[in-house]
């Protein structure tokens, strides 16, 4: 697909929000969890120490999130999207009638959504079906249950939140 580039597309606001989360996890959070692990370790037998195990589990979860954010931000394409010829692409908001129901969604990565809008990647069945198409066009896609779903694209606009 022509609009697919290396990396994940992010608005500047989403990039800044994710960078702030990464900074928090690398700095204050790491210091806090290290202190909690050390305090729990000082309590004695680690095999029966629930506080120690809980802190280690939390550390593992957040270290994974740090790695995820580092990779995402390293490869990110940051900027605003211009709706090229009115075509749906990464970074655009599509309003469509999907199987007879109105749906408004962002084509992109879940990390850029502000919580008030559904997000579909361009690799998802719905996202792939609408990508490259304009308002006024009708497309179809095969749902996971095998049904063919009709999509009437009503509008395409750039995503401005983030």
In CATH, what number is assigned to the domain containing residue 149?
Answer: 3.10.50.30
Over the stretch 27-79, which tens digit does the pLDDT of each residue have?
Answer: 999 999 999 888 887 877 666 777 788 888 999 999 999 999 999 899 888 87
Which range marks the domain in which residue 62 is found? 9-78
88/146 same-domain check: yes
pLDDT of 75: 85
103/51 same-domain check: no
Dig out the tokens for 62 from the structure: 């957040």
Average pLDDT value over all residues in the chain: 85
Q: Tell me the CA distances in angstroms from 44 to 25, 35, 48, 53, 114, one per residue in order.
A: 28, 15, 9, 12, 44
Task: Give 3's pLDDT tier (boundaries 50, 70, 90).
Answer: very low
57/91 same-domain check: no
Q: How many domains does the chain have?
A: 2
pLDDT of 82: 61
Query: How far is it, in rounded angstroms, from Cα 6 to Cα 75?
Result: 7
pLDDT of 69: 92
Domain annotation covers residue 1: no
Task: Give 113's pLDDT tier (boundaries 50, 70, 90).
Answer: low
Residues 6+ apart with CB under 8 A from 65: 25
pTM tops 0.95? no
Q: Tell me the CA distances in angstroms from 3 to 76, 80, 89, 94, 95, one per residue in order.
A: 14, 14, 6, 16, 19
73/137 same-domain check: no
105/124 same-domain check: yes
40/99 same-domain check: no
pLDDT of 37: 86
Domain annotation covers residue 73: yes
DSSP string for residues in the chain: -TT--SS-EE-HHHHHHHHHHHHHIIIIIHHHHHHHHHHHHTTS-GGG-HHHHHHHHHHHHHHHHHHHHHHHHHT-EES----GGGB--TTEEEEEEETTEEEEEEES-TTT--SSSEEE-TTSHHHHHHTT-BTT-EEEEE-TTS-EEEEEEEEEEE----
């Amino acid at each position: 697909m022509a609009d697919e580039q290396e990396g994940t597309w992010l608005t500047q606001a989403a990039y800044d929000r994710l960078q702030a989360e990464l900074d928090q996890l690398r700095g204050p959070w790491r210091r806090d969890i290290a202190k909690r692990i050390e305090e729990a370790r000082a309590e004695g037998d680690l095999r029966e120490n629930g506080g120690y195990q809980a802190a280690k589990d939390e550390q593992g979860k957040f270290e994974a999130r740090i790695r995820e954010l580092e990779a995402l931000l390293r490869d990110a394409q940051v900027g605003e999207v211009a709706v090229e010829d009115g075509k749906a692409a990464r970074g655009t908001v599509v309003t469509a009638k999907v199987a007879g129901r109105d749906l408004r969604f962002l084509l992109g990565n879940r990390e850029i959504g502000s919580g008030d809008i559904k997000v579909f990647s361009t690799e998802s069945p719905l996202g792939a079906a609408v990508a490259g198409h304009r308002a006024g066009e009708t497309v179809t896609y095969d749902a996971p249950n095998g049904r063919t779903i009709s999509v009437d694209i009503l509008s395409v606009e750039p995503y401005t939140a983030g």
